[in-house]
Protein backbone atom coordinates (compact mmCIF):
# COMPACT_ATOMS: atom_id res chain seq x y z
CA UNK A 1 0.00 0.00 0.00
CA UNK A 2 2.92 2.26 0.84
CA UNK A 3 4.44 1.53 -2.52
CA UNK A 4 1.19 2.33 -4.23
CA UNK A 5 0.93 5.62 -2.38
CA UNK A 6 4.48 6.54 -3.35
CA UNK A 7 3.79 5.73 -6.97
CA UNK A 8 0.56 7.69 -6.82
CA UNK A 9 2.31 10.68 -5.25
CA UNK A 10 5.09 10.57 -7.83
CA UNK A 11 2.56 10.34 -10.63
CA UNK A 12 0.62 13.23 -9.13
CA UNK A 13 3.76 15.35 -8.85
CA UNK A 14 4.66 14.52 -12.43
CA UNK A 15 1.16 15.49 -13.53
CA UNK A 16 1.34 18.78 -11.65
CA UNK A 17 4.77 19.45 -13.07
CA UNK A 18 3.66 18.70 -16.61
CA UNK A 19 0.50 20.82 -16.20
CA UNK A 20 2.55 23.77 -14.93
CA UNK A 21 4.96 23.30 -17.81
CA UNK A 22 7.94 22.51 -15.62
CA UNK A 23 10.12 19.99 -17.43
CA UNK A 24 10.55 16.60 -15.80
CA UNK A 25 13.98 15.04 -15.31
CA UNK A 26 16.12 17.97 -16.33
CA UNK A 27 19.89 17.91 -16.09
CA UNK A 28 20.79 19.63 -12.81
CA UNK A 29 23.11 22.56 -13.46
CA UNK A 30 25.38 23.61 -10.65
CA UNK A 31 25.66 27.21 -11.61
CA UNK A 32 23.45 30.26 -11.57
CA UNK A 33 22.04 31.19 -14.95
CA UNK A 34 23.71 34.11 -16.72
CA UNK A 35 20.89 36.60 -17.14
CA UNK A 36 20.69 40.03 -18.67
CA UNK A 37 19.92 42.19 -16.84
CA UNK A 38 21.47 40.33 -13.93
CA UNK A 39 18.74 39.92 -11.33
CA UNK A 40 20.26 37.03 -9.43
CA UNK A 41 20.50 37.67 -5.69
CA UNK A 42 19.64 41.35 -6.04
CA UNK A 43 17.65 43.31 -3.50
CA UNK A 44 14.65 45.25 -4.77
CA UNK A 45 12.12 47.64 -3.33
CA UNK A 46 8.56 46.41 -3.02
CA UNK A 47 7.34 48.76 -5.73
CA UNK A 48 9.80 48.23 -8.57
CA UNK A 49 8.65 47.46 -12.14
CA UNK A 50 8.83 43.90 -13.47
CA UNK A 51 12.40 42.72 -13.92
CA UNK A 52 12.14 41.19 -17.36
CA UNK A 53 15.26 39.35 -18.46
CA UNK A 54 16.84 37.13 -21.09
CA UNK A 55 19.15 34.19 -20.55
CA UNK A 56 22.61 34.47 -22.09
CA UNK A 57 22.59 30.94 -23.45
CA UNK A 58 21.43 29.27 -26.65
CA UNK A 59 18.05 28.61 -25.14
CA UNK A 60 15.33 27.00 -27.23
CA UNK A 61 12.75 27.14 -24.47
CA UNK A 62 12.76 28.78 -21.10
CA UNK A 63 10.59 28.01 -18.10
CA UNK A 64 10.81 30.16 -15.00
CA UNK A 65 9.04 29.67 -11.69
CA UNK A 66 8.64 32.58 -9.29
CA UNK A 67 7.58 31.86 -5.72
CA UNK A 68 7.18 34.27 -2.85
CA UNK A 69 4.83 34.25 0.12
CA UNK A 70 1.61 32.64 -1.00
CA UNK A 71 2.11 33.66 -4.63
CA UNK A 72 3.75 31.51 -7.24
CA UNK A 73 3.57 31.37 -11.01
CA UNK A 74 5.37 29.89 -13.95
CA UNK A 75 6.27 31.80 -17.08
CA UNK A 76 7.61 30.54 -20.38
CA UNK A 77 9.53 32.02 -23.23
CA UNK A 78 12.17 31.18 -25.78
CA UNK A 79 15.16 32.89 -24.30
CA UNK A 80 13.49 35.72 -22.41
CA UNK A 81 10.79 36.30 -19.85
CA UNK A 82 8.28 39.11 -19.77
CA UNK A 83 6.59 39.25 -16.40
CA UNK A 84 2.98 40.48 -16.29
CA UNK A 85 2.87 43.62 -14.20
CA UNK A 86 -0.06 42.56 -12.01
CA UNK A 87 1.47 39.21 -11.10
CA UNK A 88 4.84 40.78 -10.42
CA UNK A 89 3.54 43.45 -8.08
CA UNK A 90 1.40 40.92 -6.21
CA UNK A 91 4.46 38.71 -5.86
CA UNK A 92 6.54 41.58 -4.48
CA UNK A 93 3.84 42.61 -2.03
CA UNK A 94 3.56 39.03 -0.78
CA UNK A 95 7.34 38.72 -0.51
CA UNK A 96 8.03 42.08 1.12
CA UNK A 97 10.54 41.65 3.90
CA UNK A 98 11.46 38.25 2.55
CA UNK A 99 12.49 37.00 -0.88
CA UNK A 100 11.25 35.66 -4.17
CA UNK A 101 12.62 32.26 -5.18
CA UNK A 102 13.36 31.96 -8.87
CA UNK A 103 13.96 28.64 -10.59
CA UNK A 104 14.98 28.46 -14.23
CA UNK A 105 14.79 25.58 -16.68
CA UNK A 106 16.32 26.09 -20.09
CA UNK A 107 16.22 23.78 -23.09
CA UNK A 108 19.62 23.93 -24.71
CA UNK A 109 20.74 21.69 -27.56
CA UNK A 110 17.67 19.55 -27.12
CA UNK A 111 17.97 18.86 -23.40
CA UNK A 112 16.55 20.59 -20.39
CA UNK A 113 18.90 22.10 -17.84
CA UNK A 114 17.79 23.24 -14.43
CA UNK A 115 20.00 26.05 -13.20
CA UNK A 116 20.70 26.68 -9.54
CA UNK A 117 17.75 28.59 -8.13
CA UNK A 118 18.35 32.09 -6.84
CA UNK A 119 16.55 34.67 -4.78
CA UNK A 120 15.42 38.22 -5.24
CA UNK A 121 15.32 39.92 -1.84
CA UNK A 122 12.37 42.26 -1.45
CA UNK A 123 12.54 45.19 0.95
CA UNK A 124 9.35 46.55 2.46
CA UNK A 125 10.58 50.10 2.04
CA UNK A 126 9.52 51.47 -1.33
CA UNK A 127 11.85 53.49 -3.50
CA UNK A 128 10.77 56.98 -4.61
CA UNK A 129 8.36 56.40 -7.45
CA UNK A 130 10.09 58.47 -10.13
CA UNK A 131 13.55 58.76 -11.58
CA UNK A 132 14.50 61.94 -13.45
CA UNK A 133 17.45 61.83 -15.82
CA UNK A 134 18.93 63.43 -18.88
CA UNK A 135 18.92 61.32 -22.03
CA UNK A 136 21.81 62.28 -24.25
CA UNK A 137 24.28 60.66 -26.61
CA UNK A 138 27.44 59.99 -24.61
CA UNK A 139 30.20 62.50 -24.30
CA UNK A 140 31.86 65.00 -26.52
CA UNK A 141 31.18 68.63 -26.71
CA UNK A 142 28.10 68.97 -28.84
CA UNK A 143 24.54 67.84 -28.66
CA UNK A 144 21.83 67.31 -31.20
CA UNK A 145 18.78 65.97 -29.45
CA UNK A 146 18.66 65.53 -25.70
CA UNK A 147 16.22 66.14 -22.92
CA UNK A 148 15.16 65.70 -19.33
CA UNK A 149 12.89 62.72 -18.81
CA UNK A 150 11.16 61.02 -15.92
CA UNK A 151 10.43 57.36 -15.50
CA UNK A 152 7.80 55.79 -13.28
CA UNK A 153 9.81 53.13 -11.46
CA UNK A 154 6.72 51.04 -10.74
CA UNK A 155 6.03 50.63 -14.45
CA UNK A 156 7.77 51.25 -17.75
CA UNK A 157 6.20 54.64 -18.39
CA UNK A 158 8.65 57.35 -19.41
CA UNK A 159 7.61 60.94 -20.04
CA UNK A 160 9.39 64.08 -21.06
CA UNK A 161 10.04 66.96 -18.67
CA UNK A 162 11.68 69.14 -21.29
CA UNK A 163 13.48 68.32 -24.51
CA UNK A 164 15.75 70.51 -26.58
CA UNK A 165 13.84 69.68 -29.75
CA UNK A 166 11.33 72.21 -28.46
CA UNK A 167 14.20 74.65 -28.01
CA UNK A 168 16.50 74.05 -30.99
CA UNK A 169 20.13 74.95 -30.33
CA UNK A 170 19.85 74.64 -26.59
CA UNK A 171 21.05 72.13 -24.05
CA UNK A 172 19.66 71.49 -20.59
CA UNK A 173 21.47 70.09 -17.59
CA UNK A 174 21.88 69.90 -13.82
CA UNK A 175 18.27 69.12 -12.98
CA UNK A 176 17.96 69.19 -9.22
CA UNK A 177 15.22 68.72 -6.64
CA UNK A 178 14.78 69.82 -3.06
CA UNK A 179 14.89 66.59 -1.07
CA UNK A 180 13.22 64.55 -3.83
CA UNK A 181 10.26 66.95 -4.06
CA UNK A 182 8.87 67.03 -7.62
CA UNK A 183 7.37 70.45 -6.91
CA UNK A 184 10.73 72.10 -6.22
CA UNK A 185 13.01 71.68 -9.17
CA UNK A 186 15.55 73.59 -11.19
CA UNK A 187 17.51 73.00 -14.35
CA UNK A 188 19.81 75.05 -16.53
CA UNK A 189 19.42 75.93 -20.18
CA UNK A 190 22.58 76.50 -22.17
CA UNK A 191 22.85 77.79 -25.71
CA UNK A 192 20.88 80.64 -27.26
CA UNK A 193 18.81 80.77 -24.08
CA UNK A 194 21.25 80.75 -21.20
CA UNK A 195 19.15 80.62 -18.05
CA UNK A 196 18.25 78.73 -14.91
CA UNK A 197 14.64 77.58 -14.69
CA UNK A 198 13.36 77.47 -11.13
CA UNK A 199 10.13 75.60 -10.41
CA UNK A 200 8.52 76.14 -7.02
CA UNK A 201 5.05 74.66 -7.00
CA UNK A 202 3.01 76.41 -9.66
CA UNK A 203 5.59 79.17 -10.10
CA UNK A 204 8.19 78.94 -12.84
CA UNK A 205 10.93 81.56 -12.83
CA UNK A 206 13.60 82.17 -15.42
CA UNK A 207 16.80 83.41 -13.83
CA UNK A 208 19.97 84.86 -15.24
CA UNK A 209 22.49 83.74 -12.63
CA UNK A 210 25.47 85.36 -14.32
CA UNK A 211 26.41 88.51 -12.45
CA UNK A 212 28.97 91.21 -13.13
CA UNK A 213 30.98 89.97 -10.18
CA UNK A 214 31.00 86.25 -10.95
CA UNK A 215 31.14 86.57 -14.72
CA UNK A 216 29.88 83.00 -14.91
CA UNK A 217 26.59 81.15 -14.67
CA UNK A 218 25.71 79.06 -11.67
CA UNK A 219 26.34 75.38 -12.38
CA UNK A 220 26.18 72.48 -9.87
CA UNK A 221 23.19 73.04 -7.54
CA UNK A 222 21.98 71.73 -4.21
CA UNK A 223 18.85 72.84 -2.38
CA UNK A 224 18.69 73.91 1.23
CA UNK A 225 15.97 71.86 2.97
CA UNK A 226 13.99 75.05 3.62
CA UNK A 227 13.72 75.69 -0.12
CA UNK A 228 14.77 79.28 0.50
CA UNK A 229 18.35 78.74 -0.60
CA UNK A 230 20.13 76.87 -3.31
CA UNK A 231 23.88 76.41 -3.17
CA UNK A 232 25.70 76.54 -6.50
CA UNK A 233 29.21 76.34 -7.77
CA UNK A 234 30.14 78.83 -10.47
CA UNK A 235 32.50 77.00 -12.79
CA UNK A 236 34.47 77.73 -15.89
CA UNK A 237 34.50 74.27 -17.42
CA UNK A 238 36.74 73.04 -20.23
CA UNK A 239 36.74 69.79 -22.16
CA UNK A 240 39.72 68.24 -23.95
CA UNK A 241 40.46 64.92 -25.61
CA UNK A 242 43.07 62.29 -24.89
CA UNK A 243 45.11 60.67 -27.64
CA UNK A 244 45.97 57.37 -26.00
CA UNK A 245 43.91 54.21 -26.37
CA UNK A 246 42.38 53.79 -22.95
CA UNK A 247 41.17 57.33 -22.28
CA UNK A 248 38.67 59.46 -24.11
CA UNK A 249 37.79 62.79 -22.54
CA UNK A 250 38.90 65.05 -19.74
CA UNK A 251 36.58 67.67 -18.25
CA UNK A 252 38.03 70.10 -15.75
CA UNK A 253 37.50 73.50 -14.18
CA UNK A 254 39.76 76.42 -14.79
CA UNK A 255 37.88 78.45 -12.20
CA UNK A 256 35.27 77.56 -9.62
CA UNK A 257 33.76 79.06 -6.50
CA UNK A 258 30.67 78.68 -4.36
CA UNK A 259 27.63 80.90 -3.98
CA UNK A 260 24.22 80.46 -2.37
CA UNK A 261 21.11 81.77 -4.11
CA UNK A 262 18.53 83.28 -1.81
CA UNK A 263 15.44 82.35 -3.82
CA UNK A 264 13.18 84.81 -2.00
CA UNK A 265 14.97 87.95 -3.10
CA UNK A 266 17.09 86.60 -5.98
CA UNK A 267 20.44 87.34 -4.40
CA UNK A 268 23.67 85.36 -4.63
CA UNK A 269 25.53 85.35 -1.34
CA UNK A 270 28.96 83.98 -0.66
CA UNK A 271 31.88 84.12 1.73
CA UNK A 272 35.55 84.87 1.04
CA UNK A 273 36.21 81.42 2.48
CA UNK A 274 34.47 79.67 -0.41
CA UNK A 275 35.00 82.32 -3.07
CA UNK A 276 38.75 82.17 -3.40
CA UNK A 277 41.41 82.57 -6.04
CA UNK A 278 43.84 79.99 -4.69
CA UNK A 279 41.54 76.99 -4.86
CA UNK A 280 38.72 75.44 -6.81
CA UNK A 281 35.49 74.97 -4.83
CA UNK A 282 32.73 72.90 -6.36
CA UNK A 283 29.84 70.43 -5.83
CA UNK A 284 28.18 72.10 -2.80
CA UNK A 285 25.73 70.02 -0.81
CA UNK A 286 23.81 70.90 2.35
CA UNK A 287 23.60 68.60 5.33
CA UNK A 288 20.18 67.11 6.02
CA UNK A 289 19.37 69.88 8.52
CA UNK A 290 20.83 72.59 6.30
CA UNK A 291 23.31 73.74 8.93
CA UNK A 292 26.46 72.65 7.10
CA UNK A 293 27.51 73.14 3.52
CA UNK A 294 29.82 70.41 2.28
CA UNK A 295 31.84 70.93 -0.88
CA UNK A 296 34.88 69.72 -2.78
CA UNK A 297 38.02 71.82 -2.82
CA UNK A 298 41.38 71.59 -4.57
CA UNK A 299 44.37 73.85 -5.06
CA UNK A 300 44.35 75.65 -8.38
CA UNK A 301 46.74 74.37 -11.01
CA UNK A 302 48.05 75.22 -14.46
CA UNK A 303 45.36 73.71 -16.67
CA UNK A 304 45.28 71.62 -18.70
CA UNK A 305 48.97 70.75 -18.25
CA UNK A 306 48.53 69.77 -14.60
CA UNK A 307 45.08 68.27 -15.01
CA UNK A 308 46.02 65.00 -13.30
CA UNK A 309 47.53 66.73 -10.27
CA UNK A 310 44.26 68.34 -9.24
CA UNK A 311 42.81 66.36 -6.36
CA UNK A 312 39.79 67.45 -4.39
CA UNK A 313 39.25 67.18 -0.64
CA UNK A 314 35.85 67.15 1.02
CA UNK A 315 35.41 70.31 3.09
CA UNK A 316 32.62 71.93 5.04
CA UNK A 317 31.49 75.28 6.34
CA UNK A 318 28.54 76.09 8.54
CA UNK A 319 25.58 77.96 7.09
CA UNK A 320 22.97 79.90 9.03
CA UNK A 321 19.73 79.92 7.08
CA UNK A 322 18.11 82.53 9.34
CA UNK A 323 20.67 85.18 8.54
CA UNK A 324 21.96 83.74 5.27
CA UNK A 325 25.54 83.77 6.51
CA UNK A 326 28.45 81.37 6.40
CA UNK A 327 30.63 80.27 9.29
CA UNK A 328 34.07 81.72 9.81
CA UNK A 329 36.17 78.68 9.04
CA UNK A 330 36.39 75.86 6.55
CA UNK A 331 36.95 72.35 7.89
CA UNK A 332 38.52 69.58 5.90
CA UNK A 333 36.35 66.51 6.34
CA UNK A 334 38.33 64.14 4.12
CA UNK A 335 41.67 65.35 2.90
CA UNK A 336 43.20 64.49 -0.47
CA UNK A 337 46.38 63.69 1.42
CA UNK A 338 44.38 61.08 3.32
CA UNK A 339 42.91 59.45 0.21
CA UNK A 340 45.63 60.22 -2.32
CA UNK A 341 42.72 60.65 -4.68
CA UNK A 342 40.01 63.10 -5.60
CA UNK A 343 36.47 63.45 -4.29
CA UNK A 344 33.47 64.46 -6.36
CA UNK A 345 29.66 64.44 -6.17
CA UNK A 346 29.17 64.46 -2.37
CA UNK A 347 25.51 63.81 -1.46
CA UNK A 348 24.09 63.65 2.06
CA UNK A 349 21.40 61.11 2.91
CA UNK A 350 18.06 62.68 3.91
CA UNK A 351 18.29 61.10 7.38
CA UNK A 352 21.61 62.87 7.92
CA UNK A 353 23.58 59.71 8.65
CA UNK A 354 25.72 59.31 5.56
CA UNK A 355 27.47 61.25 2.86
CA UNK A 356 28.10 59.34 -0.34
CA UNK A 357 30.76 60.53 -2.75
CA UNK A 358 32.74 59.44 -5.78
CA UNK A 359 36.46 58.82 -5.50
CA UNK A 360 38.69 58.90 -8.56
CA UNK A 361 42.39 59.32 -9.25
CA UNK A 362 42.17 63.05 -9.98
CA UNK A 363 39.88 65.85 -11.15
CA UNK A 364 36.18 66.29 -10.51
CA UNK A 365 34.41 64.96 -13.60
CA UNK A 366 34.56 61.35 -12.55
CA UNK A 367 32.10 60.19 -15.20
CA UNK A 368 35.05 59.77 -17.59
CA UNK A 369 37.23 57.99 -15.03
CA UNK A 370 37.08 54.22 -15.24
CA UNK A 371 38.56 53.94 -11.75
CA UNK A 372 35.80 56.09 -10.20
CA UNK A 373 34.01 54.31 -7.34
CA UNK A 374 31.37 55.15 -4.77
CA UNK A 375 32.44 55.68 -1.16
CA UNK A 376 30.53 56.32 2.02
CA UNK A 377 31.26 58.67 4.88
CA UNK A 378 29.49 57.91 8.15
CA UNK A 379 28.73 61.40 9.44
CA UNK A 380 28.43 60.19 13.03
CA UNK A 381 31.80 58.50 13.47
CA UNK A 382 33.51 60.01 10.38
CA UNK A 383 34.52 56.56 9.15
CA UNK A 384 35.01 56.22 5.41
CA UNK A 385 34.78 53.12 3.27
CA UNK A 386 34.24 52.10 -0.33
CA UNK A 387 30.84 50.65 -1.20
CA UNK A 388 32.38 47.52 -2.65
CA UNK A 389 29.07 45.79 -3.19
CA UNK A 390 28.11 48.27 -5.89
CA UNK A 391 31.42 49.32 -7.42
CA UNK A 392 32.64 47.96 -10.74
CA UNK A 393 35.66 48.13 -13.03
CA UNK A 394 34.06 50.98 -14.97
CA UNK A 395 33.01 54.45 -13.83
CA UNK A 396 30.49 54.48 -10.99
CA UNK A 397 29.85 58.13 -10.37
CA UNK A 398 26.80 60.37 -9.95
CA UNK A 399 24.33 59.18 -7.30
CA UNK A 400 21.11 60.25 -5.60
CA UNK A 401 19.32 59.16 -2.43
CA UNK A 402 15.73 58.06 -2.19
CA UNK A 403 13.76 60.16 0.31
CA UNK A 404 13.70 57.25 2.79
CA UNK A 405 17.54 57.19 2.84
CA UNK A 406 17.71 53.44 2.31
CA UNK A 407 17.69 53.32 -1.51
CA UNK A 408 20.05 55.09 -3.82
CA UNK A 409 20.57 55.28 -7.56
CA UNK A 410 23.91 55.75 -9.25
CA UNK A 411 25.20 56.22 -12.78
CA UNK A 412 27.44 53.41 -13.91
CA UNK A 413 29.22 52.58 -17.14
CA UNK A 414 29.76 48.94 -16.23
CA UNK A 415 27.73 47.60 -19.15
CA UNK A 416 30.11 48.68 -21.89
CA UNK A 417 32.40 51.38 -20.54
CA UNK A 418 30.71 54.19 -22.44
CA UNK A 419 26.96 54.44 -21.98
CA UNK A 420 25.80 55.52 -18.52
CA UNK A 421 23.00 53.44 -17.01
CA UNK A 422 21.10 53.92 -13.74
CA UNK A 423 21.64 51.23 -11.11
CA UNK A 424 19.83 50.93 -7.78
CA UNK A 425 20.96 49.49 -4.49
CA UNK A 426 19.86 49.23 -0.88
CA UNK A 427 21.94 50.56 1.98
CA UNK A 428 21.23 49.46 5.52
CA UNK A 429 21.63 51.52 8.68
CA UNK A 430 25.21 50.31 9.04
CA UNK A 431 26.13 51.44 5.59
CA UNK A 432 26.18 47.97 4.05
CA UNK A 433 24.89 47.88 0.48
CA UNK A 434 23.38 45.10 -1.58
CA UNK A 435 24.03 43.90 -5.11
CA UNK A 436 22.69 46.58 -7.45
CA UNK A 437 20.25 46.15 -10.32
CA UNK A 438 19.81 48.18 -13.49
CA UNK A 439 16.66 50.23 -14.18
CA UNK A 440 14.24 47.53 -15.44
CA UNK A 441 13.00 47.85 -19.00
CA UNK A 442 10.11 46.16 -20.72
CA UNK A 443 12.41 44.64 -23.33
CA UNK A 444 15.53 43.00 -21.89
CA UNK A 445 17.38 44.01 -25.08
CA UNK A 446 16.60 47.70 -24.46
CA UNK A 447 20.09 48.73 -23.33
CA UNK A 448 21.74 46.85 -26.20
CA UNK A 449 20.07 49.10 -28.71
CA UNK A 450 19.78 52.30 -26.71
CA UNK A 451 22.30 54.87 -27.93
CA UNK A 452 21.60 57.35 -25.14
CA UNK A 453 23.19 57.70 -21.75
CA UNK A 454 21.04 58.24 -18.67
CA UNK A 455 22.90 61.07 -17.00
CA UNK A 456 22.39 62.62 -13.57
CA UNK A 457 19.78 60.13 -12.28
CA UNK A 458 17.78 61.82 -9.51
CA UNK A 459 15.14 60.01 -7.47
CA UNK A 460 11.93 62.00 -7.10
CA UNK A 461 9.06 61.23 -4.73
CA UNK A 462 6.30 61.93 -7.26
CA UNK A 463 5.58 62.85 -10.83
CA UNK A 464 6.95 66.16 -12.06
CA UNK A 465 3.89 67.91 -13.35
CA UNK A 466 5.28 70.87 -15.22
CA UNK A 467 2.88 72.56 -17.57
CA UNK A 468 4.75 72.36 -20.87
CA UNK A 469 3.15 75.43 -22.42
CA UNK A 470 3.68 77.50 -19.30
CA UNK A 471 7.29 76.35 -19.12
CA UNK A 472 7.88 77.26 -22.76
CA UNK A 473 6.22 80.63 -22.26
CA UNK A 474 8.47 81.37 -19.29
CA UNK A 475 11.54 80.19 -21.21
CA UNK A 476 10.61 82.64 -23.94
CA UNK A 477 10.32 85.51 -21.47
CA UNK A 478 13.02 87.85 -20.15
CA UNK A 479 15.23 86.26 -17.49
CA UNK A 480 15.21 87.83 -14.06
CA UNK A 481 18.63 88.91 -12.93
CA UNK A 482 20.20 88.19 -9.55
CA UNK A 483 22.41 90.34 -7.35
CA UNK A 484 25.68 89.34 -5.76
CA UNK A 485 27.00 89.90 -2.27
CA UNK A 486 30.10 88.70 -0.44
CA UNK A 487 29.46 88.44 3.29
CA UNK A 488 32.64 88.82 5.28
Partner 1 sequence: MPGKGKYLTHKYIIPVIFVAGSFLCFGLFLRYNLWFREQLQVFLLTFDHLQGYFTKPAFLASWIGDFLTQFFHPSWGAATVISITLLILWLLLHVLVKKTGGTKVPFLVPLLPVILCWAALTSLEYPVSNVISLCIAISFVLVYVSIRPATGRQLFGIVSIPHVYLTAGSSMWIFAAAFLIYELREKRIKGFKSLLLPLVIVAIAVGIPLILRLKYLLTPFQALTWLSEMKRNPGIWDFLPLAGVIISASVSMMVIWDKVAFKSNSLVSGFLQALVIGAVLAGGILKVYDRDLEKILRLDREAANGNWKKVYELSEEYELRNNIASYFTNMAMAKLGIMPDSLMMHYQPAATGLFIPVNANENYLTITLSNEVYWHLGDVNAAQHSAYLGTIFSPRAENSRLMKRLIEINIVNGQYAVAEKYVRILEKTMFHGNWAEDMRKYLYNEEECGRSEWIRAKRAVIPSTDLLKSGNEYVKTLRMLVQNNPANRMALDYLLCFHLLSRDIPSFESDFEKYYLPGMDAVLPRVYQEGLLINIASRRKTPADYSRFSFSPETVRQMAEYTRLFEESNGKGSVLIEKFGKTYWFYYHFARMKDE
User: Which residue ranges make up the site for partner 1 (CB under 8 A)?
Assistant: 137-145, 147, 160, 163, 165-166, 168-169, 239-248, 250, 304, 307, 415-419, 443, 445-446, 448-449, 451, 468-469
- Spatial distance between the Cα atoms of 44 and 426, rounded to a whole number of angstroms: 8
* Sign of the alpha-carbon dihedral angle for 452, 132, 351, 313: positive
Minimum distance of partner 1 from residue 304's CB (angstroms): 5
Nearer to partner 1 by Cβ, of 97 and 417: the residue is 417
Q: How far is the CB of 17 from partner 1 (least distance, A)?
A: 33
Distance in angstroms (rounded) separating the CA atoms of residues 261 and 259:
7
- Closest to partner 1 by CB, 446 vs 484, is 446
Helix residue spans in 173-312 (DSSP H): none
User: Got the DSSP string for 404-440?
Assistant: TSSEEEEEE-TTTSSS-EEEEEEB-TTS-B---EEPP
335 or 452, CB closer to partner 1?
A: 452
**Residue 146 · residue 134 · CB < 8 Å:** yes
Long-range contacts made by residues 138-142, C-beta under 8 angstroms, separation at least 24? 138/418, 138/419, 138/420, 138/452, 138/453, 139/248, 139/249, 139/368, 139/418, 140/249, 141/239
Q: Which is nearer to partner 1, 137 or 461 (CB)?
A: 137
For the chain, report the end-to-end CA distance as a whole number of angstroms.
Answer: 95
Of 403, 443, 348, give the one whose Cα is nearest residue 45.
Answer: 403
Please, which residue, 137 or 273, has the CB nearer to partner 1?
A: 137
Query: Least Å distance between CB 110 and partner 1?
Result: 25
Query: Residues 49, 39: contact at Cβ < 8 Å?
Result: no
Max Cα distance, the chain (Å): 97
Q: Identify which of residues 165 and 382 has a Cβ nearer to partner 1 in the complex.
A: 165
Cβ proximity to partner 1, 239 vs 300, nearer residue: 239
**13 φ, ψ to 5°?**
-60, -40
> Looking at beta carbons only, is 114 or 135 nearer to partner 1?
135
How far is it, in rounded angstroms, from Cα 272 to Cα 275? 5
Residue (36 or 73) nearer to partner 1, CB: 36
Nearest approach in angstroms of CB 135 to partner 1 is 11
- Least distance CB 181 / partner 1 (angstroms): 24
- At residue 309, the 3 state secondary structure works out as helix
Residue 311 CB, nearest approach to partner 1 (Å): 17
The answer to whether the beta carbons of residues 318 and 327 sit under 8 Å apart is yes
**Whole-angstrom distance, CA of residue 341 vs CA of residue 14:** 60
For the bound state, the minimum distance from the C-beta of residue 155 to partner 1, rounded and expressed in Å, comes to: 16
**Closest distance between partner 1 and the C-beta of residue 223, in Å?**
27
Task: Say how far apart CA 16 and CA 284 lie, in whole Å.
Answer: 60
Give yes or no for a contact between 259 and 484, defined as CB atoms under 8 angstroms apart: yes
- Nearer to partner 1 among residue 297 and residue 466 (C-beta): 466
CB of 323 to partner 1, least distance (A): 43
Q: How far is the CB of 273 from partner 1 (least distance, A)?
A: 31
CA-CA distance, 218 to 196, in Å (whole number)?
A: 8
User: How far apart are CB 107 and partner 1 at their closest, in Å?
Assistant: 23
Cβ partners under 8 Å of residue 322, min gap 6: none
Give least dist CB 417 to partner 1, A. Answer: 5
Pairwise CA distance, residues 103 & 66, whole Å: 7
Phi, psi of 253, deg, nearest 5: -100, 145
Q: In sequence order, which ranges of 340-476 are alpha helices (DSSP H)?
A: 446-449, 468-475
Q: For residues 9 and 144, which CB has a smaller minimum distance to partner 1 in the complex?
A: 144
- Residue 381: Cβ within 10 Å count: 7
3-state secondary structure 349-362: CCCCCEEEEEEECC
Q: Which lies closer to partner 1 via its Cβ, residue 339 or residue 443?
A: 443
Amino acid sequence: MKINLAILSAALLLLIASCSGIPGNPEEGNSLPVLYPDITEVTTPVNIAPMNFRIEAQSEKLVVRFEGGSVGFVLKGKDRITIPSGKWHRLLRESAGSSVNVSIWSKEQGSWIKYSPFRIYVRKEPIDQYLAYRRIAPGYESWSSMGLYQRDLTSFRESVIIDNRLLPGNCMNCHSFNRNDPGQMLFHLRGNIGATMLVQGEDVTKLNTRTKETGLNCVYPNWHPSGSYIAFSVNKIAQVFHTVRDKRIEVFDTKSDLVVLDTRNRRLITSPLVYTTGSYETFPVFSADGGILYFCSADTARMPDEYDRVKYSLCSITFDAASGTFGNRVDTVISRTQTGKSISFPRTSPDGKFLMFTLSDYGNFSLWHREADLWLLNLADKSVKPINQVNSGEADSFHSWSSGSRWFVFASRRTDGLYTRPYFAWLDENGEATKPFILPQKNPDFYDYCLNSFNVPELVAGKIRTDGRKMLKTIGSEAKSVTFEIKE
